[in-house]
Structure 1
Amino acid sequence: MFNFRRFGAIFGARNKEFWRDRSSLSWNFAFPLLLIFGFSVVFSDNNQNQFKMGLLNQVDAPAALESLKYTAYVEYKDKTIALKKVGQHQIDLLLDWDNQEYWVNNSSPKGYILEKLLLHSSSQLKRNEVTGDAIEYIDWVIPGILGMNIMFSCLFGVGYVIVRYRKNGVLKRLQATPVKTFEFVAAQIVSRMLIVMTVSSIVFMGTWLTLDFRVEGSLWTLLLILMIGSICLVALGLLVASRSESEELVGGLLNFASWPMMLLSGVWFSLEGAPEFIKIISQMLPLTHFVDAARLVMTEGATLTDVSQQLFILMLMALAFFICSGLMFNWGKNR
């Protein structure tokens, strides 16, 4: 039979525990503020740009195009990459103002409208056509969604477990055994990596067969990206949970680590044309390199050599997280 007195006692004790935990209490106030601030910075541009124009070797739009409204401009230094994006409808038009020519895809509705607006501003430009298959949003966003799912699985799947072990005294009992810190940390990384790779591979194959999204590159290269990315994110989860005994605090810290990556790693939208400081922050996040590498393989057929830079950065980050988590790891208070 339900006893309201026992219920009230447990309810009151839990509330007191929460309010007396100054760190988690502070975080519950600080995190929403940080989240709102982050959204306000990322989405602070009131210009509702409808078109995206690539500029070849030019940062800002030419003075002759200043009257062209609702258009975002993105600089490209590599003409081959820029033309490929025009063919895939990732940008609506590519302009080389120095040579007075532009490239447009005839099958792009936005490219057609932007071309008319461009010629209205400057009619002396030479027209070039680009062909290619459009990358649908589902093709573009799938790598980001899979990467985000792996990120949450790695961070929260490891962080909460470690804190619970520490809080319940399991780690303290393990300390009495011959197991070394780095052995325990490495075992956690490998275990979670295998779980994430197995689950993610099943999800990937199931959705691929069902939705038939674009996969241009090698599945083996994708598997390697998945493995290295998972190791990096698991190591980050271990680093976050390396010392704390408060599940509430670790939950806040894991949210603090995951939300910026979800917003600034190109999961939902491209950061091309974003402010420079946003791009700099994005390059500091492991999920950015993970998603970029997977997206290049899936949408553009990139080879292992093409994504070697992203993989190298992920391996460096994983090594740094692993060493720091091993050095900072706390087995628990003395009892």
Structure 2
Amino acid sequence: MSKRLIAMIKARILEVLRDRSALAWNLLFAPLLVIGMATVFSGGAQTVAKVGVIGDLPLTAESNAFLGTPAVSFYKETEPDKAIAKVQRQRIDMLLDLRSHPSRYWINSESAKGSLLQKMLLVTEPAAQEQPVTGARIRYADWLVPGLLSLNIMFSSLFAIGHVIVRYRKSGYLKRLNGTPLRAFEFISAQLLACLILMVVVSGGIFTACNLLLHLRMEGSYLNLLLVAALGSMTMIAMSLLVAARISSEELSGGLLNLISWPMLVLSGVFFSLDGAPGFVQTLSQLFPLTHMLEAARAVMLDGAGLADIAKPLTVMALMTLLFLALGASIFRWTQD
């Protein structure tokens, strides 16, 4: 690592640490939001039960009377093993396999909703075969915390880096740097590494505080979770660098960053699971790095996933990071002209 790169990393970290109001906001906002959301939603029961259905039959009441049950949401599942795991974790209340005759169904023996759905199913199909599973229910707080921490990383990375570089360009700071031996790739890499260090440290502190207060579920390795957070942060930072590579208007950069961040906020499953969402929504969500970050983080925390289990989202985030960095470095300009 060159001395120029190290100097730029130190300069960026010191700049952030000296802005105490912004630093305090980043440290306090996420824990307060986590505690507030967990308090509001953890105790409340959902008003609509959710049932995954396996089979090629159309999901209509005509194909199976149980599918017309009011106040129950039915959706199609294509991967039985993963669907059974959802029942085990009580992410869904029942899994119904229409491919066999009579039908088979899975419920969690510890789920009150599952027992109620079982009684309703047996009224319409008495011969249906039960396939019980067991597993402790995941609290909404356990589901929510990875989403909110990832959300904090996303907003901090996008705006703390993308907006700052535009300000550097507008103020002429980048023009002065251009008169030094510093290369564009070194500058971009320094911004990424400096922000990555800050994101990991700040997010680690926030996670520790939330864990002490809420006693979060943690089935997997903390090192794996750290890897997910670090790689997810790199991807978000690289995306922000791509946006700020040529723009000199802070208003335009803010608009573009909002344009990027808000679809991720809505479509990446931060607050609620995308199970049962329309197919095009689930496909669209795969374009966002936040989706893959959340998938890996929740798999580690809630399911005890190892590196092999989260290899796909990690690979996608790594490829996105390399692509964004390469494009950002290739179109980067020092001045407004």
Establish whether TM, by shorter chain, passes 0.5. Answer: yes
Residue 76 of structure 1 corresponds to 77
Please tell me whether residue 118 in structure 1 is matched to residue 121 in structure 2. Answer: yes
Which deviations, in whole Å up to 9, do the C-alpha atoms of 1:138-178 show, x marking residues without a partner? Answer: 11111111100000110001011101100100001111111
Question: Which amino acid letter does the alignment assign opposite residue 308 of structure 1?
Answer: A
Q: Which of residues 147, 150, 160 in structure 2 aligns to 1:147?
A: 150
Q: Which of residues 48, 51, 56 in structure 2 aligns to 1:50?
A: 48
Residue 233 of structure 1 corresponds to 236
Shift in Å, 1:108: 1.2
**Contact 2:52–2:74 under 8 Å retained in 1:** yes
* Structure-2 separation of matches of 1:190 and 1:154: 11
Name the stretch that deviates more: 53-62 or 212-221. Answer: 53-62
- Secondary structure in structure 2 of the residue aligned to 1:278: helix
Q: Residues 78, 279 of structure 1: CA spacing in aligned structure 2 closer, same or farther, 3 A cutoff? A: closer
- Secondary structure in structure 2 of the residue aligned to 1:130: coil
Residue 130 of structure 1 corresponds to 133
Shift in Å, 1:272: 1.0
* Structure-2 separation of matches of 1:277 and 1:77: 15
Residue 85 of structure 1 corresponds to 86
Aligned Cα RMSD in Å? 1.6
Larger radius of gyration: 1
- Secondary structure in structure 2 of the residue aligned to 1:236: helix
Which deviations, in whole Å up to 9, do the C-alpha atoms of 1:231-257 show, x marking residues without a partner? Answer: 110000111111111111111111111
* Structure-1 separation of matches of 2:282 and 2:126: 34
Shift in Å, 1:319: 0.6
Q: Which of residues 262, 267, 285 in structure 2 aligns to 1:264?
A: 267
* Structure-2 separation of matches of 1:315 and 1:225: 10
TM-score where L is the length of structure 2? 0.82
Point out where structure 1 has 5 or more consecutive residues left out of the alignment.
Answer: 1-47
Residue 325 of structure 1 corresponds to 328
Please tell me whether residue 247 in structure 1 is matched to residue 250 in structure 2. Answer: yes
Residue 59 of structure 2 corresponds to 61
- Secondary structure in structure 1 of the residue aligned to 2:95: strand
Identity rate of aligned residues, in percent? 43
Which deviations, in whole Å up to 9, do the C-alpha atoms of 1:105-155 show, x marking residues without a partner? Answer: 232122122222222222221223221111111111111111000001100
Q: Residues 108, 156 of structure 1: CA spacing in aligned structure 2 closer, same or farther, 3 A cutoff? A: same
Name the stretch that deviates more: 116-125 or 297-306. Answer: 116-125
**Contact 1:143–1:294 under 8 Å retained in 2:** yes
- Secondary structure in structure 2 of the residue aligned to 1:304: coil
Which deviations, in whole Å up to 9, do the C-alpha atoms of 1:190-209 show, x marking residues without a partner? Answer: 01000101100111111112
Residue 28 of structure 1 corresponds to none
- Secondary structure in structure 1 of the residue aligned to 2:274: coil
Query: How many residues get paired?
Result: 287
Any residues of structure 2 matched to 1:34-49 within 5 Å, and which?
Answer: none
Point out where structure 2 has 5 or more consecutive residues left out of the alignment.
Answer: 1-45
Question: Which amino acid letter does the alignment assign opposite residue 84 of structure 1?
Answer: A
